Amino acid sequence: MSRWPLDNWHLKLLSLTIAVALWAFVVSSDRRQVTRAAPVEYVGVGPNVILVGAPRETVDVQVEVTRWTAARVGPGSLRARANLAGLGEGESVVQLSPADVQAPAGATVVRVAPARLRVILAAAVERTLPVVARLRGAPAPGTTVDRIVVDPAAVQVEGPRSTIETKDAVETLPVNVAGRRSTLTQSVGLALPEFVYPTRDRSVQVIVEITPEASMAGRQQRSGR
C-alpha cells in the first residue's frame, strides 16, 4: 500500500499551516468601516409606566466588517436595544454602547450615535370604558337610524394616567352610513388618544339599524298609546 499521504507529513502540515495563516491574514487585513441606520428597540419597561413622547426610532451604527461580511450588514441586520429597566416616571437619559447593538457574525460594532437617548415615562393605568359608535353621513332620504349596537359595548385600555382619567368613553373610527337604506354591520377599529392602547379588543362590531321613517313614526305612535 502506498504511503504517499504520510511521506514528508511534517512538510505538508507546515504548508497547510502557512496557507491557513496567510488566508486569515488576508481576510483580517481587508477590513473597512461602514455606517448603517439601526432601529431602536426599547425593552425593560416597567409594569406601571408607559413610554410616551417621541422616542428616537433609529441610531447610526458604525460597524467594522470584512469584505466577506459587508453584504450581510444591511437593513434589518442591525438592532439597538435600549434598556429602560428600573426607570421611573419622568424624563431620563439612557446610555447606548456598542454592546447594546445586535450585529451579524463577523461584524464588529465600533460606535453608536447618538450614544445617549432621551426618554419620557408616564404613570400607566388600565381602565374599562364604554364604546360609542361614530357615524359619518346620513342615511338615504326617507330612512332614519333606528338603533346602534356595539359589541363589545366596553373595552379595556391602557395608557398614561393623565389621559385615561379624563376619558368617559372610547369612540370608534367613523362608520359611513351615507346613502344607506338598510341595516349596516361592520367591524371597525377604535379611535384612541396618543399612547393609549387596547389591552385585548382592537376592534368592535357595529350594527347600525336603518329603517323607513314611516315605520319609525308608526312605532312611536304605538308606543305612545
pLDDT score at 186: 97
pTM for this prediction: 0.64
Residue at a domain's end among 80, 98, 123: 123
Residues 119 and 137 in one domain: no
DSSP string, 132-162: E--EES-PPTTEEEEEEEEESSEEEEEEEHH
Residues 168 and 209 in one domain: yes
Residue 23 lies in a domain: no
Query: CA 157 to CA 125: how far, in whole Å?
Result: 8
Residues 40 and 83 in one domain: yes
* Domain span at 153: 133-224
DSSP at 98: G
Sign of the dihedral defined by the CA atoms of residues 69, 43, 91, 124, in that order: positive
Query: CA 44 to CA 41: how far, in whole Å?
Result: 10
Residue 69 lies in a domain: yes
Residue 213 lies in a domain: yes
Sequence-distant (6+) residues with CB within 8 A of 201 are 152, 155, 156, 190
Q: Considering only CA atoms, which of 57, 25, 24, 19 is closest in space to residue 39?
A: 57
Alpha helices in 56-167, H assignment, sequence order: 161-164
Q: Considering only CA atoms, which of 76, 77, 81, 67 is closest in space to residue 33?
A: 67
| Average pLDDT per 10 consecutive residues for the chain, totaling 225 residues | 54 64 55 87 92 93 81 82 93 96 89 96 94 96 96 96 93 96 96 92 96 66 53
Sign of the dihedral defined by the CA atoms of residues 51, 53, 57, 61, in that order: negative
Residue 190 lies in a domain: yes
